[in-house]
Amino acid sequence: MSTAFEGLMPVKKQQLVYATINEQIQSNTIHAVQIITYTPAEWEKAQKMGIG
């Protein structure tokens, strides 16, 4: 959950996450990743719905 995701398209959100783990991906420390991003408002809504 981050305000950094507010107003961004899903691809841009993914790029932000990948930028933080790119070194681990390149060194094969991380082989696969599943990305689920939330803004604080999205997280609150997901929690009310029992998601996340």
For the record, the structure tokens of 19 come out as 């930028």
Cβ count near 51 (within 10 Å): 11
pLDDT of residue 1: 87
pLDDT of residue 44: 95
Domain of residue 27: give its range: 3-48
Cα separation, 25 vs 41, whole angstroms: 30
| Residue showing tokens 């991906």 | 25
Beta carbons of 21 and 30 less than 8 angstroms apart: yes
Cβ count near 38 (within 10 Å): 17
pLDDT of residue 51: 86
Has this prediction a pTM greater than 0.85?
no
Write out residues in the chain with pLDDT < 70, as ranges: 52
| Residue showing tokens 């803004």 | 39
pLDDT of residue 5: 94
- The number of distinct structural domains making up the chain is 1
pLDDT of residue 6: 95
